[in-house]
Amino acid sequence: MAKEINNGILKVGGVSCDKLADTCGTPLFVYDQEELEKQLWSYKKYFRSDLFETEIIYASKAFTCNAMLHLLKQYGFGLDVVSGGELYIAHKADFPMDQVYFHGNNKTIDELELALNLRCKTIVLDNDMECKALIDTAERMQKSASVLIRVNPGITAHTHKYIITGDMDSKFGVALNDEKMLMEMIESINNSQYLSFEGFHVHIGSQIFDLKAYEILIERMIKRIKKMKTDYKIEIKALNLGGGFGVRYTEEDEPNSIREVCERIINKCEAELKASDLSIKKLMIEPGRSIVAEAGYTLYRVGYLKQTPNISYIFVDGGMTDNIRKALYDAKYECDLANKMDLKKTIKYTVAGKCCESGDILIENAMLPKAQMGDLLVVYGTGAYGYSMASNYNRLNKPAVVFVKDGKTRIVIKRESYSDQLRFETDEEVIV
């Protein structure tokens, strides 16, 4: 990651981090908008084929807000939502509903009704019970939608157990080899006058570096598509391969470039389709983390420091409330003192948050210059699943979010106040 430094101070998007912190406060999520746009442009440039249509669908769970949705519209991306809330925010941002894909393993009837009322074009069914629920809801409301079925390919990606989604015991999807259930679902969908079956969706996990996993996935999916056509005369029009492409959090990470990811997937799909004498109408992928992670930074103010017999602690004014990933699955990050970028790193620190939890640790064994109260700590690669997983634990306020580009700063999400946290408090009697 190239770093712009001026007089020992880190700059993001042409703006000094000390000025960002002084003006907007800390903790603060900072997105380099030029980096975001570079990632979006790269996916649009390289995920293309002469044999089939392609679509890049942004996984909004990684990070979403109006400003992000407007960027996605500008670059012609689709949108993956996994809840009624994400769907509603997309609607309020005037995101084109014919480019929205509604995922989730346990959609409520209210969520299905919302999707149909908002004319969400594609609903991704996760299981047979949900299939029946959607059919009943669509027929009752007389509303139409296209449908993908999420299948579980039985591929175990080499990543943390909490972000594996494609092994046989995953909570997601219908087993790819459960032919009976797949055929029953497809037949039920095709018998509905309001739903149209388009194809399959699959996702094997997150933070995956070995592209061979996707090639194995493609082989397996094309084989199934061939069997569906040969044995049942069912044409699969669309295939969504999900996302999960790895990003760089630390120096040990070696992610593939967007170009390599796209070309390997496109080339493999084209080759397998030709070898099987098949065609599909559209191929889709769903990057999220790989678009926003490395474009995001978190700025913290250093508070107290503490020395124990074995550990030198830096305490910051945020913690697991704005980045739960370390506590959740021991995610690794790198950091610097943003106001001391030109000084030698001589001390090994553990960066800890202010929450009343021993597990509220952001980074262990971070080599930094000698730290002092008031220093500015920057953590890199926090653009994915930082703000979107943020909480009010210990009644801490959620941070603000800014986009920076060409020396200009925009606040795109305001910082919460204590009074904001009280806005739903009530003492209202209800009759039950």
- In this prediction, what percent of the chain has a pLDDT beyond 90? 94
Cis upstream peptide for 27 (omega within 30°): yes
339, 269 contact by CB (below 8 A): no
Q: What backbone torsions phi and psi does residue 295 show, to the nearest 5 degrees? A: -85, -5
Query: Could you say which of 17, 24, 262, 356 is catalytic?
Result: 356
Location of each CATH 3.20.20.10 domain in the chain: 47-288
Token digits of residue 321: 């409330």
Helix (H) or strand (E) holding 371: none
Burial class (CB in 10 A: 0-12, 13-18, 19+), 404: buried
pLDDT digits (tens, 9 = 90+) for 131-140: 999 999 999 9
Helix (H) or strand (E) holding 274: helix 258-275
Q: How far apart are the C-alpha atoms of 279 and 367, rounded to whole Å?
A: 53
pLDDT digits (tens, 9 = 90+) for 7-65: 999 999 999 999 999 999 999 999 999 999 999 999 999 999 999 999 999 999 999 99
- In this prediction, what percent of the chain has a pLDDT beyond 70? 97
pLDDT tier, 1 (very low <50, low <70, confident <90, very high otherwise): low
Question: What does the pLDDT average to over 415-432?
Answer: 96
Catalytic-residue membership of 356: yes
Q: What local confidence, expressed as pLDDT, does residue 151 receive?
A: 96
What global pTM score does this model have?
A: 0.95
Give the angle 413-83-118 at the CA atoms, nearest 5°. 95
Give the angle 54-79-190 at the CA atoms, nearest 5°. 70
Q: What local confidence, expressed as pLDDT, does residue 155 receive?
A: 83
Average pLDDT over the chain, rounded to an integer:
95
DSSP 136-200: HHHHHHT--EEEEEEEE-----SS-GGGB-SSTT-SSSEETT-HHHHHHHHHHHHT-SSEEEEEE
Token digits of residue 229: 């056509």
175, 151 contact by CB (below 8 A): yes
Q: What local confidence, expressed as pLDDT, does residue 12 receive?
A: 98
Q: How far apart are the C-alpha atoms of 424 and 266, rounded to whole Å?
A: 48
Token digits of residue 108: 């409520």
Q: How far apart are the C-alpha atoms of 87 and 104, rounded to whole Å?
A: 12
Question: What does the pLDDT average to over 186-209?
Answer: 96
Is domain 47-288 in CATH 3.40.605.10, yes or no?
no
Burial class (CB in 10 A: 0-12, 13-18, 19+), 378: buried
pLDDT at 393 over 60: yes
pLDDT tier, 3 (very low <50, low <70, confident <90, very high otherwise): confident
Q: How far apart are the C-alpha atoms of 110 and 107, rounded to whole Å?
A: 8
pLDDT digits (tens, 9 = 90+) for 245-280: 999 999 999 999 999 999 999 999 999 999 999 999
Specify the CATH number of the domain 4-31+295-421: 2.40.37.10
pLDDT at 165 over 60: no
Helix (H) or strand (E) holding 45: helix 33-46
Location of each CATH 2.40.37.10 domain in the chain: 4-31+295-421
